């Protein structure tokens, strides 16, 4: 059997699959985010490790006598987070997460200091990436910066605790702005710009290769063989791609989780930083991918549900009762609750409801929220297409994949078939378990099959005129807000 561990922002999820790729058991544990100041987002790495140990215990009970059959472990993780370790591998400060936007000034400094950044790293300097975070720490916490012996990404901290080895993979490391994405190796020049060296970086392996074996101590504690290997793993979206079988050029999926991602596989390195499109390594050798990323997606719906005191199921049931005429006159919503990446690269962008009246009620606002998130995904599709990338259909994964209404709205908004899969909500953990299979010697063709299709949502031509008009107003609303802030 094979174990996949997915370290997300709001939870850690673990999944066990058998030799045939069938899911044997899953379990998850919630995580909390600390926001001690505006624009800050932090987590304690120790909380990740405690949650992981809890999951191992829970899965061990569920798998009973089969637990010892686990042969390999794969890892998936939230990207960009800065885990800073001292000479004794102790955590220096809380990890600064991907949705932390405190370092927007440092992004400008990095762009100025590294004029070849876009060519080497394939991406704009954005507050979410790791490199600007380290410049911020150097400027504002010099005593902490002086203690840094190692910088790890979140999932790689779990690997260190599991194996004693400091290793990362190409896909996750591409999100640091220190990787030469075409060469799939650390860039000494970009590291030097941040006053760091290769010695402070982990070793690099491909996501589907062996990175290390469980330490004897952890193997004993977890009741596993010390021969259990740990795959390189990857950033959450690249690993989710493995979970939905997105391994060939043109394969694409949308992830509606805390953030929103439109992911497409490329056969070569294709940067398009001018549109804030991300170009990263895939978890498979000689594969890359592009992503458009919005910082708040399903989290917008969760935010609104908290405000109005409704569950997502209750709110979606109300929304589904709206007539086409009501939806056409609903307020507009800008989903920028944490700033925005693609295509705006604007950490100061704010969320907004526009065009409300006394007759506006909860369901209309709820519809506006999921439509606004869908329009944000459409922004990403537009700039990917402008970069020359062709997408014919998209799989849908993440928490938002559980809503048929939202899936149909995405099909109508994007003008693309949207495919949901059985078990699609476990994409990251399933992908991690599949990477464990690959590291054990199985082939990509054997392991990375697309999960069974649950349903295909075809775009409805009748809705296109109304949605096109509302999308144009959505885009103008952001531009008007930007002009007022300028």
d(CA 90, CA 84): 8
Residue 177, sorted as left (phi over 0), alpha (psi -120 to 50) or beta, turns out to be: left
d(CA 76, CA 156): 9
Report CA torsion sign: 58, 59, 63, 67.
Answer: negative
d(CA 170, CA 175): 9
Report CA torsion sign: 106, 107, 113, 117.
Answer: positive
d(CA 1, CA 20): 9
d(CA 228, CA 55): 17
Catalytic residue annotation: 236
How far CA 60 is from CA of 20, 63, 67, 212, 218, in Å, comes to: 20, 5, 6, 22, 14
First to last CA, the chain: 56
Q: Is 80 annotated as a binding residue?
A: yes
404 with 317: CB under 8 angstroms?
no
Q: Which of 451, 351, 367, 357 is nearest to 412 (CA)?
A: 367
Binding residues for substrate are 79-80
């Amino acid at each position: 059997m094979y174990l996949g561990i997915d370290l997300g922002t709001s939870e850690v999820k673990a999944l066990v699959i058998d030799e045939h790729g069938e899911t044997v058991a899953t379990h998850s544990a919630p995580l909390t985010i600390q926001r001690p100041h505006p624009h800050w987002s932090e987590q304690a790495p120790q909380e990740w490790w405690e949650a992981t140990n809890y999951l191992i215990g829970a899965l061990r009970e569920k798998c009973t006598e089969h637990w010892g059959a686990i042969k390999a472990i794969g890892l998936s993780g939230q990207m960009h987070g800065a885990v800073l370790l001292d000479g004794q591998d102790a955590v220096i400060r809380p990890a600064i997460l991907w949705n932390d936007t405190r370092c927007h000034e440092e992004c400008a400094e990095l762009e100025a200091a590294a004029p070849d950044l876009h060519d080497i790293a394939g991406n704009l300097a954005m507050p979410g990436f790791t490199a600007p975070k380290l410049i911020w720490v150097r400027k504002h916490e010099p005593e902490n910066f002086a203690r840094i012996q190692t910088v790890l990404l979140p999932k790689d901290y779990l690997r260190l605790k599991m194996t004693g080895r400091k290793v990362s993979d190409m896909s996750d490391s591409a999100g640091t702005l220190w990787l030469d994405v075409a060469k799939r190796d650390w860039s000494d020049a970009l590291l030097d710009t941040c006053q760091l060296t290769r010695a402070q970086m982990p070793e690099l392996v491909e996501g589907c290769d062996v990175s290390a074996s469980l330490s004897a101590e952890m193997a004993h504690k977890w009741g596993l063989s010390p021969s259990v290997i740990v795959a390189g793993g990857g950033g959450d979206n690249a690993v989710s791609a493995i979970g939905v079988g997105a391994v060939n050029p043109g394969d694409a999926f949308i992830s509606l989780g805390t953030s929103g991602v439109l992911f497409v596989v490329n056969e070569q390195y294709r940067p398009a930083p001018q549109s804030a499109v991300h170009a990263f390594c895939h978890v498979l050798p000689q594969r890359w991918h592009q992503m458009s990323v919005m910082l708040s997606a399903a989290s917008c719906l969760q935010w609104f549900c908290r405000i109005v005191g409704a569950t997502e199921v209750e709110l979606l049931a109300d929304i589904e009762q709206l007539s086409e005429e009501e939806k056409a006159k609903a307020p507009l919503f800008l989903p920028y609750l944490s700033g925005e990446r693609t295509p705006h690269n604007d950490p100061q962008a704010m969320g907004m409801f526009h065009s409300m009246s006394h007759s506006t009620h909860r369901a209309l606002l709820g519809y506006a929220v999921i439509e606004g998130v869908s329009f944000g995904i459409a922004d990403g599709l537009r700039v990917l297409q402008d970069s020359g990338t062709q997408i014919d259909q998209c799989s849908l994964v993440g928490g938002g994949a559980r809503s048929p209404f939202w899936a149909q709205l995405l099909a109508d908004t994007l003008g693309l078939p949207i495919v949901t899969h059985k078990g699609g909500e476990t994409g990251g953990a399933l992908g991690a378990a599949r990477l464990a299979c690959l590291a054990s010697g199985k082939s990509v063709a054997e392991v990375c099959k697309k999960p069974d299709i649950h349903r295909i949502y075809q775009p409805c031509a009748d809705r296109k005129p109304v949605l096109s008009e509302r999308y144009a107003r959505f885009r103008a609303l952001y531009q008007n807000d930007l002009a007022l802030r300028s």
